[in-house]
Structure 1
């Protein structure tokens, strides 16, 4: 007894047969399916060989279904319509299920944006709505499917997976370091042009806190400029305005591109905090969300691991 999978002809044979039967012409079927008339005729001939039955009576300029062909068309047409409807439903579901991803301004601009084009290239039908905000309340609202926040890994009602830790070090442009070589000496950092971020998140590290980690307390700081978002501060450093605090993983791509350098190679601050991927455990997951979540986890797994620089 033949297995059912052996009874089924290739789908492209059936599509060619359906078009030719409905249009009454191999030539018109070729236009509809964007194939050559020879290809349509060949696929229909192979379908007839598959069943060992004639499906068309071929005239000089016309084709007519045989009784076997008419019976097959009825079943094939219904089956293909079911497949078309199922495909349309899947595409509609795909289109409607946009993944809303919230992240801090720093993560959105510096970690996610450089990666989105690569994601889009591999996942053309998955749409991401990126919401950048430094408001935890907004990032954790019910409208968000996934969220990336800084913290210690505990958010009631959310599943949290760490993406990367928090390592902070000074960064500046190569041109600024050339103009202000004292920026390469830790003891002289308080006197150079320091770029600071003013934020409602008082737990975020500022220059005074960072220098305290290095043992320099109660020092007078010469701040060149203040910004209300971290991406602006980093752009100011790239533009040569002064020295900013660089968060590892957020500025790695700028260091790799040579747009930023670490003027004080041996100095850094490592905290117990990190950046976590959050998912509301009460919200139902969907396929596109899982695709984005897996992508973020893979990006985390591929990240550069922090290793303390060796002392000279």
Structure 2
């Protein structure tokens, strides 16, 4: 054998030889590798020419390994197995893992969704699965990588970072304010069409609580409509149904777009609650999760600040 023949043959020659040897036929190898029988036969023949060694004894309808072929198969099998394992490992290590991000209905619809397109434009390789729910146990399940919840920042077993605080003020559509100019008078507010939310959390800010915070105690406000989710109440305000309570950061884009206005100007109530980004201390963060977490914190750092 000449010195040049010690060069490695193409990998597909070796794979065709291995498949043919294990199947004991070119037909079987063809089915295994999903290429034609002619292609298998040709690759095996080129491998034999490469080494100038007969690897198969060819019968009319069968093939069998020569002693040289059997010896060669025994030597290359471990190497091919190692190559397959290395190939599977690198795919598993670098496979893109989706990030499951849970948030309350209000945050998912009004804060997160309008920003996701910017994130996707800058991070096309990161997939985010958004879970929208007002049930804390669902947002904090083991299947969730990151969660955005309303609270005081204390969730045992979770690291938390405040994304934004809770500043609340009345909002309505410009058309509603034009038709009801008395909406700019806080004394008249309880008598207008107020949009409310049937919240699952007892500490949720209601119209009665908000009015009490601004000095209007023992007032039974009139309610024009009651919704079971906050995004629906805000859409109702945009549609001119009445006045809703607007959470800063959630309704800011709608105010900037002119779809909502603040009839009482800067009048607002600031609470001790806020919206926090949570991650389980028991779960090891992965690269894609860190990218999403850093992005959310960056959005938070750039937010508008409201006075306490």
Same fold (TM over 0.5): yes
TM-score by length of 1: 0.70
Native 8 Å contact 2:194 2:242 kept in 1: yes
Would the alpha carbon gap of residues 217 and 258 (structure 1) be closer, same or farther in structure 2, given more than 3 Å must change?
A: same
Looking at structure 2, the residues matched to 228 and 86 of structure 1 have their Cα atoms a distance apart, in angstroms, of 48
Pairing 1:245–2:212 present? no
Looking at structure 2, the residues matched to 86 and 126 of structure 1 have their Cα atoms a distance apart, in angstroms, of 21
In the TM superposition, what is the alpha-carbon distance from 1:91 to its structure 2 partner?
Answer: 8.6
Looking at structure 2, the residues matched to 280 and 307 of structure 1 have their Cα atoms a distance apart, in angstroms, of 31
Looking at structure 1, the residues matched to 209 and 91 of structure 2 have their Cα atoms a distance apart, in angstroms, of 55
In the TM superposition, what is the alpha-carbon distance from 1:307 to its structure 2 partner?
Answer: 3.4
1:121-136 maps to which residues of 2 (within 5 A)?
121-136=121-136
Q: Where in structure 1 are there 5+ consecutive unaligned residues? A: 1-20, 23-80
In the TM superposition, what is the alpha-carbon distance from 1:228 to its structure 2 partner?
Answer: 0.3
1:142-161 maps to which residues of 2 (within 5 A)?
142-161=142-161
Looking at structure 1, the residues matched to 113 and 266 of structure 2 have their Cα atoms a distance apart, in angstroms, of 29
TM-score by length of 2: 0.70
Which residue matches 1:294?
294
Looking at structure 2, the residues matched to 210 and 91 of structure 1 have their Cα atoms a distance apart, in angstroms, of 52
Which residue matches 1:172?
172
Would the alpha carbon gap of residues 112 and 194 (structure 1) be closer, same or farther in structure 2, given more than 3 Å must change?
A: same
1:277-288 maps to which residues of 2 (within 5 A)?
277-288=277-288
Q: Where in structure 2 are there 5+ consecutive unaligned residues? A: 1-9, 12-82
Looking at structure 1, the residues matched to 273 and 135 of structure 2 have their Cα atoms a distance apart, in angstroms, of 18
1:193-212 maps to which residues of 2 (within 5 A)?
193-212=193-212
* 1:74-130 residue CA offsets vs partner (Å, 9 max, x unmatched): xxxxxxx99x95997279511xx1100000000000000000011011111100010
Q: Number of aligned pairs?
A: 228
Native 8 Å contact 2:208 2:220 kept in 1: no
Would the alpha carbon gap of residues 127 and 91 (structure 1) be closer, same or farther in structure 2, given more than 3 Å must change?
A: farther
RMSD: 2.2
